[in-house]
Each structure stands twice: as structure tokens, then as C-alpha cells.
A and B are shown apart, each in its own frame.
Chain A
Amino acid sequence: MVAMAWLHLSDVDVALGAREVVRGVSAQIGPGELVVVVGPNGAGKTTLVRAIAGLVAPQRGTIRVFGHDPLRAPRRAIARDLAYLPQHYELAFPFAAEEVVLLGRYARQHGLGLATPDDLAAARAAMAACDVSHLAARRFDELSGGEARRVILAQALCQGARCLLLDEPTAGLDPAHARAMFALLRAHCDAGAAAVVVTHDLDLALRHAGAMWLIAEGRLAARGAPALVLAAAETRAAFGLEIHVGTLPSGALFAVPA
């Protein structure tokens, strides 16, 4: 399993300034896995994901992304295998939505990098998957929060990476689009990709993810099947409330704060 792992974290500590934000996290992720990362605000979820993306250096421990140290490997090589969606995304220039999506093709372009038929096909497929095809010509900075979020998701998808790191991809999305997004990720992972998704959408996470990590005070406090993690005492302690997991008449699971 270790040899197979796409992402490999071993005893990782990350500090932001003097504050230790991630402590002793060890984990692996391989093809086909959809892992959701849950935890209270400020628990260290975003920092953990940023460390995997090679955007912040761990203080201790090692991180390997497809066998490479993400801080040292060429960014271009990393970007072909790993796409990262940040929690906040602000664009300095008023690009059209389609141009924003096409930025995702950077690592696969050469020279001047005008969009090739391959790039366009990837961008159109990603935009269709995220239901933003109709926004292609709209200015990105004039989109609503949820629309902009979906455009950025399309950017990450069109990067063509095997592994996705998504920090709150469904924040600001309406319920239908949020569910569609998780369904899309599930299908993507069933087709052999992998995804690490930070989310507060426990109900959708429960239904779509294969595994759940609970991060509490920087530590990986619980992990396993989502239904088990949500019901665990650690989860209750971390959130300060109980998460009720039940079964709908259809047989599907649901999670609500009790």
C-alpha cells in the first residue's frame, strides 16, 4: 500500500509563525480514494492541504506527492498530477470565465500557450461537468460567489491531474450544485482519480466519501468510514455537538447536528 500511495504524509508538523497548526499527521492516499477532511474552524485542515500542495513547508516529517517532495519538485511536474483549489480565490484582472478555466491548462502548454484543441476540449468538458458552460463569456469578477466557485472547480478539473486537493469546494454552492459536485468527485474517483476534500458539508461527505479524516487541534483525531467517524466520540468532542447519522426511507444515510 505504501508503495502505491499517491500522497504520503509521515509524522507531519506544520507551524505558521510560532503557532503549531498541524501536529504529527501520518496518512496515505491512493488511486480511487475520495477522502473528506472535516473538523472545526481553525483546526488546521487548510494548512494540512496547503502543506500537501507544497505551499507551506512542514516543520517536521515528510510529505511525498507521487514520490516527490512537493517543495522541491518542479511545480510544473507537480501540477500535472495534483490540482489544488484554494479556499479563497481572487483574480486581479477581469478575465472571462472561460479564460480562467483555461489557466488550468498551464502545466500542459508550451511556448506562447494559445489554447490547443486538446486544451479547449478539456476546458469545455470541465465547464460542462461544473455546469458553467453558459458562463463562458461572462467576466469572472462579475459572477456570483457560487458561480465563481464552480468556475474555479472547472479550472482545477481541466488541469487534468490524477489527484485533486479541494479546500471547501462546495462553499457558497446551492444544494443542487453542491450535491452534483460531490457526485462528480465520486465518479471521478471511481474512474481511478483521487481527491482530498476539505468540507463542512457533513451530509454530502457522508454519502459520497470513502473515508473521512477528523482534524482537531492539528491532529488527525479520527479516520475511517464517514458514518463511523461522524458517530465517534472524538468528533463530538471536536465540534462540541453530536452529529446524528440516520437512514432515510430510501436507505440512504444522512447526517445532521443533533
Chain B
Amino acid sequence: MTGFVAGTAGRLTPRRFVAALATCLAVTAVIAGFAPLLGTVVDRGWHLDLLGPRAFTPGTIEHQILWAARIPRMLASLEVGAALAAAGCALQALLRNPLAEPFTLGISSGASLAAVLAIRLGVEASFGMTGVGGASLVGAAATLLAVWQLARIGKHLPPATLVLAGVMTSMFCASASVLIQYTSDLAELTHMMQWMLGGMESVRLATVTAAAIPIGAALVVLSGYGRELNALAAGPEVAASLGVAVSRTQTAIFALSSLLVGAAIAVAGPIGFIGLIVPHGLRAVLGPDHRLLVPASMFGGATLLALCDTLARTALPLHHLPTGAVTAVLGVPCFIAILVSQKRRARLWSHA
């Protein structure tokens, strides 16, 4: 009947809430602490090194690698992963669609297109990176609004149809970006690529720091909407009669999701499927209660993207793989698995 899988965790008790979040936090902390030490320092064939105590001695090359390259990259992964997974979790609840997440709905590509357009129009020269970041936020919000209108027109639009529209939106935005690129000079192009390709390669500490405040604030506020998201699972009318201020809640979730996606893209470009895999995986373990699922998704997204990025960094001795490609390689099979498991129930493709 529903498009979501969940464990039978039962009612959320204070004890279970604290235990689950403490576990999430511990796992995230271990990964975040350990992963930056791992990697190839010099090419010695297919070889993984662990940075030793020298990494904590200023002036050494190890210190430089750890603090100037790997730590900012780790911080970016944590921040972007948390933002995308929490936004994915909220969007799935809001649209009641198991396939919803920033990337599949085309919201990421909308944000990229807006950023590319802003660069072409010289926004960066006048307002700096903040201006472009603002544009990507507007792009995310506009695409989300379009998706929402679409979901409302076909009130019970099958989940796959909405994603199909998202894929079309992505293609449109990607093509439009390419067209804009053909009219741009080399300096603009270099900046644009950063917004088009998802990855941690070109992450700058300044951006990570700047994005931390809006992302952190949005995550805290979004975590407070767990009860509303639970009630919205029964549809807007039931939620309203349970006492939820539905349109205000929907607007808030939209704004927060746009903010999270826009800021995440400002940091690392479009990264797909984190917002899909993480809430689904956690829901299967922790149950569907959003009071726990939203904050847990934050930690889960941070951890998963940190792992994916570490893999991207260390899988090959000489080259860093694009992080977005790693998440897509993991995410697409997951997407298809959800699609296939729901196809049997036929709800995904047709009216109920």
C-alpha cells in the first residue's frame, strides 16, 4: 500500500530517541575522525597510507595535507551530506513520494542552472560568491515550487511520474547550462564547472564556513518539524484536522529544503542520491517516525557522504574520483531497487 519500507521499531520513546541519536553521532564522529588520516600521500602504487603523528606537527607535509586539504574536505562532506539527506527525508514526507530527493526531482540541477546563469550575468563580480549562492538558492526554490505545482495538479500523481518530470527538468537545466556556457569566457567557465559537477575536489574552506551557518540553522529548525511530517503522512486534510497548520508547515519545509539544497550545491555542486539512500536505509532500521528520522538522516547523510568521498579520494592511487559519481554508482541501484519493489505493488506507476 505504501511506497516505503520500515522496520517495526514501534513507538518512539525518549530512551530510544536518545540511544539512536547517540549511536548516529558516535558513528559519524568515528568516521569523521578517522577517514581524513587515510589516503595516498605519495604514489607508491596501489597503496593506502595512514597519516602518523607527524600530521599534528606544524610545518610537515603531512600536517599540510591533513589540515589544508583533507579536513576541509571532510567538513564539506559532513555538511553537504547532512543537508541533502535531511532535505531528502523532508521532501519524501512532504510529497509522500518514496523516490523524492533533491537530485531526482531536478532541484539540484535547477540550483546549478541558476548559479551558472548568475555567473554569466556577472553576479559574481558584483556580489561575490554569496550572490551566486543566493542565486542557486533561488533556483532550488523555483524548481521545488514547479515540482510542487505538478504534484498538486495530478493530486495523486504516481511517484514515478513526478520523478520522470524531475529527470526532464534536470535535462532541461543541464542543456540550458551548456547553452549558457557556449556564450561564456574561460574565467566564467571555470567557475561554472564548479556548480555543474558534483564533487569535493574544489571545495574551499571559506565556502564551507559560510554555508555552515545557514545549513546548521536549517537542520535544527527542520528537526523540529518531525511531528508535522508524521501527521502529513496521512495527507494534508487529516493533518489539518489533527491540528497542523498545513500551508504554513508546507511553506516552511519548502523554504528549509531549498535553503539546504541551495547551500549544499554552493559547497559541492550537485551530489545525487544521498537524499534517497539515507532516509530509506534509516527508515528500515529506525522506523518511519520523523521526530527521529530527520535528525538521524542528518547524521546518516554526513557519514555516508564522508565515506563516499573517502572512497573517491583513495580508490585510485593517482586520481581522485568525482564524489558525485561514487554516490550515483551507489544510489542508482538503490533507486532501481525501490522502483522494482514498488512496481510489484503497482502504486508507483498508476493510480491507486
How near does chain B come to A30, taking the closest CB pair, in angstroms? 21
User: In the complex the two chains form, is B227's CB within 8 Å of A113's CB?
Assistant: yes
A36 touches B (CB below 8 Å): no
Asked if residues A107 and B226 are in contact (CB atoms below 8 Å), the reply is no
The A25-84 residues at the B interface (CB cut-off 8 A) are 50, 53-55, 74-76, 78-80, 82-84
Q: Which residue of A lies closest to B15 (CB)?
A: A114
- A residues within 8 A CB of B245? 74-76
Instruction: Name the residue in B224, B287, B288 with the highest tally of chain A Cβ atoms < 10 Å from its Cβ.
Output: B288
Contact of B12 among A53, A109, A114 (CB under 8 A): A114
| B98 to chain A: closest residue by CB | A92
- B227 A89 Cβ-Cβ under 8 A: no
Give the residues in chain A near B17, CB-CB below 8 Å. Answer: 112, 114
Q: Does B313 have its Cβ within 8 Å of any Cβ on chain A?
A: no
> A95 on the interface (CB 8 Å rule)?
yes
Say yes or no: is A208 at the interface (Cβ < 8 Å to chain B).
no
- Report the separation of the CA atoms of residues A104 and B13 in the bound assembly, to the nearest whole angstrom: 17
| Docked pose: A109 CA to B10 CA in angstroms | 19
Question: A113 touching B241 by the CB < 8 A rule?
Answer: no
Q: Are the CB atoms of B240 and A112 closer together than 8 Å?
A: no
The reply to whether the CB of A170 lies closer than 8 angstroms to some CB of chain B is no
Q: How far apart sit A181 and B62, CA to CA, in the bound complex (Å)?
A: 73
* Cα separation A34 to B295 with both chains bound (whole Å): 44
Per-position 1/0 for A108-148, Cβ under 8 A of B: 01001111000000000000000000000101010000000
Q: How far is the CA of A109 from the CA of B226 in the complex (A)?
A: 12
Interface residue ranges of A193-247 to B (CB < 8 Å): none
Taking a contact as CB atoms closer than 8 A, the residue among A80, A91, A104 that contacts B2 in the complex is: A91
Map CB proximity to B onto A83-100 as digits: 1 under 8 Å, 0 otherwise. Answer: 110100111111110111
Q: Which of B137-145, B231-239, B263-271 is the contact stretch? A: B231-239
Indicate the member of A50, A55, A75, A78 with the most B CB atoms within 10 Å: A75
Is B5 an interface position by the 8 A CB rule?
yes
Q: Check if B234 sits within 8 Å of A109, measured CB to CB.
A: no
Instruction: Check B242 against A106 for contact (C-beta < 8 Å).
Output: yes
Partner of A92, one of B13, B96, B224: B96
Residues in chain B near residue A55, CB distance under 8 A: 237, 240-241
A79-B243, A139-B8 known; A106-B233 Cβ under 8 A: no
User: Which residues from chain A contact B96 at a C-beta distance below 8 Å?
Assistant: 92
Say if the beta carbon of A103 comes within 8 Å of chain B. Answer: yes
Q: How far is the CA of A75 from the CA of B232 in the complex (A)?
A: 14
CB distance from B295 to the nearest CB of A (A): 10
**Max chain A C-beta neighbours (<10 A), residue from B230, B234, B287, B289:** B234
Residues of A within 8 A of B240 (CB): 53-55, 75
B53 located at the interface, meaning its Cβ lies under 8 Å from any Cβ of chain A in the complex? no
A137→B244 contact, CB < 8 A: no
Q: Is the pair B93, A99 in contact by a Cβ cutoff of 8 Å? A: no
Smallest beta-carbon distance B65→chain A, Å: 42
User: Cα distance A99–B9 when bound, in Å?
Assistant: 10
Closest to B290 in A: A93
Q: A90-B352, A106-B227, A113-B227 are in contact. Are A95 and B233 (CB under 8 A)?
A: yes
Asked if B3 is an interface residue, CB under 8 A from chain A, the answer is yes
Q: Does A255 contact B (CB under 8 A)?
A: no
Select from chain B the residue with minimum beta-carbon distance to A143: B1
Cα distance, A137 to B9, chains bound together (Å): 9
Please report the C-alpha to C-alpha distance between residue A82 and residue B289 in the assembled complex, in whole angstroms.
25
Residues on A with C-beta less than 8 A from B2 are: 91-94, 141
In the complex, what residues of B have CB within 8 A of residue A80's CB? 243
Whether A185 sits at the interface, judged by CB under 8 Å, is no
B227 to A109, Cβ gap below 8 A? yes
Task: Give every chain B residue within 8 A of A102 (Cβ-Cβ).
Answer: 11
Minimum distance in angstroms from B239 CB to a CB of chain A: 8
Query: Contact: A103 with B231, CB < 8 Å?
Result: yes
B107 shortest CB reach to chain A, Å: 20
What is the minimal beta-carbon distance from B246 to any residue of chain A, in angstroms?
A: 7
* B4 contacts chain A at the CB level, 8 A cutoff: yes
Bound CA span A212–B5, Å: 43
Complex Cα distance, B242 from A86, in Å, reads 11
| A90, B4: Cβ atoms closer than 8 Å | no
Q: Which residues of A come within 8 Å of B, CB atoms?
A: 50, 53-55, 74-76, 78-80, 82-84, 86, 89-96, 98-100, 102-104, 106-107, 109, 112-115, 137, 139, 141, 159
Provide a sorted-by-A list of 18 A–B residue pairs whose CB atoms are within 8 angstroms: A54-B240, A55-B241, A75-B241, A75-B244, A86-B237, A90-B352, A91-B2, A92-B3, A92-B4, A93-B230, A94-B6, A95-B289, A100-B234, A109-B227, A112-B226, A114-B13, A115-B11, A139-B6
Known: A84-B238, A115-B13. 6 other contacts (CB 8 A): A75-B244, A89-B234, A90-B1, A92-B2, A92-B235, A139-B8
The 8 A-B residue pairs with the shortest CB-CB distance in the complex, in nearest-first order: A79-B243, A107-B243, A93-B288, A92-B96, A84-B241, A76-B243, A141-B1, A106-B242
